[in-house]
Amino acid sequence: MKGENMIIDADCHVSSRGVGPGIGIDELVRQLDSVGADRAICWPMVSYTREIASDNRAIYEGAQTYPDRVIPFAGVNPKLGLEQAKTELRRCIDEYGVRGVKLNGARDGYYVDDPVLSLPLVDMAAEAGLAVAFHCGSNDFEATHPYRIAKISDLFPNLDILIVHMGGSGSPSIHDAVIDLAARYPRWLLIDSEADYRKILEAVESLGPERLAYGSDTPFCPMRYEWGMRKVIYQDLGEDDLAAVMGGNIARMLGL
């Protein structure tokens, strides 16, 4: 199945550990099957144990086992050491064949436009032709504010960017700033995970359905619940627009 016909969950976390809140690839695929989704973007769970390399490896192995289900993205944390992060990202690019990288300044404690910690990693991704996903939420609006992501877009105008949570994931949200800036940066794709449904609909109205993508934030949010919510939120979209939000836009960005 290709392109606009695929249903893709654009925000799923995979853990290499068998205990705790994380889930492995097999459980993720089971949940995708339970809601009728075709594929998922997978990045590391990276909980407080910080097992980044093993999570990246688990995603790679999952993509080998389920090549038509798992879309591998790398995850790196420059606060654990920039050179270590660069080495891990290089491995993910050259050996694991990732389609993008996710940077989470809120969880890891750095500004996403930091010229020392973040931009070297963005540069590596851009040089490799990857997409970059940024956690963008009010749980750390200073570190992940969309104006910082806008500065990155100015430096890398051809870079495809996923705005994960589109300014939600906390209260008060920064959805309005995301929507306002997204109008100026057409290479941004807003991932609707943990976003206020009213702001999701506002973004659809002001930016167009081609600028949003469905994401569940599994396992932090139950996939079946998030799936059911989207059926309500997007119920007034036409068939083509709904297909775009539920997978077509991500497929187009990543060339799937």
What pLDDT does residue 74 have?
Answer: 96
| Cis-peptide into 44, omega within 30 deg | no
Residue 85 has φ and ψ, to the nearest 5°, of -65, -40
What pLDDT does residue 20 have?
Answer: 62
Q: Which residues of the chain have pLDDT under 70?
A: 1-4, 18-21, 46-51
What pLDDT does residue 48 have?
Answer: 47
What pLDDT does residue 108 have?
Answer: 85
**Residue type at 169?**
S
Burial of residue 205, with CB atoms counted within 10 A of its CB: 0-12 exposed, 13-18 middle, 19 or more buried: exposed
What pLDDT does residue 18 have?
Answer: 60
Half-sphere exposure of 59 (CA within 13 A, CB side): 33
Please provide the distance, in angstroms rounded to a whole number, between the alpha carbons at the two ends of the chain. Answer: 9
Q: Give the Cα-Cα-Cα angle 48, 145, 116 (nearest 5 degrees).
A: 70
Q: Tell whether the torsion through CA atoms of 79, 80, 86 and 88 is positive or negative.
A: negative
How does DSSP assign 7-46, residue by residue? -EEEEEEE-S-SSSS---HHHHHHHHHHHT--EEEEEE--
For 3-254, give the CATH class. alpha beta
What pLDDT does residue 31 have?
Answer: 96
What pLDDT does residue 50 have?
Answer: 65
What pLDDT does residue 3 have?
Answer: 59
Residue-range domain boundaries for the chain: 3-254
